[in-house]
Structure 1
Amino acid sequence: MSDFLSKLKGIFIVPTPADGKSAEPVAKTATPATTTVPVAPAPLSGKVSDKFYDILFGAMEANNQEGFDYLEYKKSLQTLAKMPMDEQTRYASAFAAAQAMGITSQKLNDSAQFYLNVLKTEDAKFQESVNAQRQKQIGSKEKAIADLDATIKAKGEQIARLTQEIAAHQDDMGKMKAEISEAVVKIETTLSDFHATYSDLTSQIAQDVEKMSKYLK
């Protein structure tokens, strides 16, 4: 981290004293919050991160305006915060020093707005990066899930259709088995009747042959 970036970070972040007691926070200017859309159904509560402070401060460093501007004014406010004075006096005293260098309240406001716009640009870039990651890591998987769901439904319908066809085939098979049983009975009955008739007729003929041999000499 550059020396300027370390100092810049120190303007906005007050370190915790060694005794563990929290120091009085330095007043911060309102900056646009990074907009994130969490994956979870319920909104997530974000927390301040040094990592993202470094990214945002780096953007401010890269776009630092020449001369005395809002950042220098903010540093003056931090120095005055160590003195026993109220907030209004602190802001007025820092502005008096700025006026000595030809700085007006309008220039300070314009400078602060300039850095807000720098941070807004970083927010837009970060959001674009998040959207790309969301599409890569979530969107593609959501599409795959939708495709699998459609496949499951199609196969479920196919299974239902095949189940109906199997039931119909089993019904046809049962009917055919019944027809076979009926046909077997009919065929065997016919064969038995034929053999009975055949036996009776051949027996009569055999008896006639025997009697003809006996009586016709």
Structure 2
Amino acid sequence: MNISLKEIFDDANELDKKSLDFLLKAIAKNNQTGFDYLEFKQALIRLNKMGVDEDTAIKSAFATASTVGLTKEKLLESAGYYLNILKDEFKQFNTALEKQMESKVHSREKQKSSLESKITALDKKIKNLTEERKDLESKLSSIDQQADVARKKIKETSDRFEKTLKAITVRIEGDVDQFDSELP
């Protein structure tokens, strides 16, 4: 591809780089052979760079692409194919996100509950274990902070990923709508 996937989906350079790289690798890995949605988008970008208005660019690119067998149905089908790849990546991302939540947040919350129980037991049993109680309270505070930091980090990653996913999805869906309404 002469025009990068990044240029197709993040021409304004506004999306989260890590999420974008992840999603674009999935798209590139699953790139269909032949002239499909991605090559059509590249052709549109080339025509737009030459100053051709978008309506004319779409019709011109489609006329050229039809000479190598691209039909409106194949174009829309291939755009749907890439949307499905993004949906699969989103499912995998959510699975990984849940594992991160379990290992970095929920497990610490379970630790917190366990430590609180120990504190209560120590208060009831022995007054002289004040030092051990202070140590456990310090661990609780640390666990809360760690869980909060992990939660925030995971949330930020999720937000960036979802923003990037949405931007790419909206771009493809907009193209599908436009192609569907403007192509014969």
TM range (shorter): 0.5 to 0.7
Alignment match, 1:88: 55
TM-score of the aligned structures, taking structure 2 as reference length: 0.60
Alignment of 1:162-201 (within 5 A): none
Alignment match, 1:197: none
Q: CA deviation at 1:87?
A: 2.5
**CA 1:148–1:6 in 2, change beyond 3 Å: closer, same or farther?**
farther
1:14 to 7, 11, 14: 11
Query: Greater RCO between the two (CA within 8 Å, min separation 6)?
Result: 2
Q: CA deviation at 1:128?
A: 1.2
2:20 to 53, 56, 78: 53
Report the AA paired with residue 101 of structure 1: V
Alignment match, 1:109: 76
Alignment match, 1:150: 117
In structure 1, the gaps of 5 or more residues are 17-46, 161-217
Aligned residues: 127
Alignment of 1:55-74 (within 5 A): 55-74=22-41
Q: CA deviation at 1:153?
A: 3.4
**CA 1:69–1:49 in 2, change beyond 3 Å: closer, same or farther?**
same
Q: CA deviation at 1:103?
A: 1.1
Q: CA deviation at 1:6?
A: 7.3
The separation in 2 between residues aligned to 1:140 and 1:6, in whole angstroms, is 45
Cα RMSD (Å):
2.5
From the CA coordinates, give the structure whose radius of gyration is larger: 1
For the residue of structure 1 that corresponds to 2:49, the secondary structure is: coil
For the residue of structure 2 that corresponds to 1:65, the secondary structure is: coil
In structure 2, the gaps of 5 or more residues are 128-184
